[in-house]
Amino acid sequence: MDRIESILAAIYDALSRIPGSVVGVVALALGAGAALMVHALAVALLRRIFTGRPFVQSLLTRSYGPSRVAIAIFVVAALLPAMPFDGYLADGAVRILGVVLVLLLGWIAAIAVDIASALYMRRFYRADTTNTLLARKHVTQVRILKRVVTTLVGVVTVSAALMTFDTVRQYGVSLFASAGAAGLVVGLAARPLFSNLIAGVQLAITQPIRIGDAVIVENEWGEIEEITSTYVVVRVWDLRRLIVPLTYFIEKPFQNWTRDNQDIFGTVLIHADYAVPVARVRKKLEEIVAGSALWDGRVAVLQVTDATERTVELRALVSARSAGEAFDLRCEVREKLIAYLRAECPEALPHVRTAVSDDGARGRDGATADGATADGVTAAGVSAAGRSSALAAAAVPSGSA
């Protein structure tokens, strides 16, 4: 017994000779090591408890590193005031560790938001369903709300980290408690940020636009490619990108061709002569769309929509499954209808009619009062195409036959 007491006394005497800072560092290291062991056991236990829960499993995997550092920092910050260190240095170290801990917690929260949005979109967003209305609706909502929530998490994290300092906390309290000039300046400076955040929430709820929508913005046709927390990227038909602020779609009018569905009509205008056989052209239109893979089988109509002093206007109305296919179908119908008129109905192409008169020929041939010659040629009705033959007939003397 005496021997044991002597050994303990020797150990105590040896430890008493060690500097207090070394003892404190060793104690902190042991505490951090114990915290890491507890963290590993807790993660393993949670994995077993929440088996089959994709969100929890993904969160434990992706936040494993930040959470290990956070638990170690928490234990060290809790033990540091009790260690034999200088009070001023210990207080500064605790504040720094507190800031790091808050930033790590914000990081873990951002990871949780990203995992939740990814798992939710996985239910709707597949490679074979990117063009469906339901998928685009949910993808747009999740992407906008994810960016808004991530931004709010970042703002709250930075604010909480700064509020750990007394001077910053006092300034923040006085700033929010007063309605002075400083508050107005900060509010005006932050107006674009808050206006875009509010516009993002409005877009997510009301959804005037969605990912993949065909829109016309600033007289440019394109598709909504990306919606961020501050702007929208519109991919124009020639692969240019139009960057538009979020507030534009709340405050200004624009065209959305796929608001409720992607089905859309396309129009083709053809100007033809009055002699055009409308029934034949209508039948040809039906043959063209029937042989096209771009037509959705719903609408194929040809109508005379206008008439001028020289031509009539034929409007072909066709339907397609999307705006892109509608544009290609319009081009195909226009090309084939023009080729048909040139090959089968040349008389249907636009003509310029000119009134031709010959006073000398009318006098010799005994022109009537209404302008008809003896050979039955009416000057007011001669077309440019038959002008030469009409003049030749009018120039022949009546007795030469």
- Helical (H) or strand (E) element with 149: helix 133-162
The percent of the chain in helix, strand and coil, each rounded to the nearest 5, is: 60, 15, 25
State yes or no: pLDDT of 153 exceeds 80: yes
The confidence score (pLDDT) of residue 171 equals 62
Per-residue pLDDT, averaged over 129-147, amounts to 73
Lowest mean pLDDT among 99-108, 146-155, 250-259, 351-360: 351-360
Exposure of 136 in the CB half-sphere (CA atoms within 13 A)? 22
The confidence score (pLDDT) of residue 328 equals 92
The confidence score (pLDDT) of residue 109 equals 94
**Mean pLDDT for the chain overall:** 79
Whole-model pTM: value is 0.55
d(CA 262, CA 296): 12
d(CA 150, CA 355): 76
Query: Cα–chain-centroid distance for residue 99?
Result: 36
State yes or no: pLDDT of 368 exceeds 60: no
Range among 3-7, 76-80, 331-335 rated most confident: 331-335
The confidence score (pLDDT) of residue 200 equals 79
Confidence of residue 91 (pLDDT cuts 50, 70, 90): confident
Per-residue pLDDT, averaged over 334-355, amounts to 90
Domain spans, the chain = 17-122, 264-348, 359-400
- 27-55: pLDDT as tens digits: 888 888 999 999 999 999 999 999 888 99
Q: What CA–CA distances, in Å, run from 322 to 179, 280, 353?
A: 53, 28, 42
Residues counted in the chain: 401
8 Å CB contact between 30 and 85 = no
% of the chain residues with pLDDT over 70: 75
Confidence of residue 179 (pLDDT cuts 50, 70, 90): very low
In CATH, which of 3.40.50.12280, 3.90.650.10, 1.10.238.10, 3.30.70.100 is domain 264-348?
A: 3.30.70.100
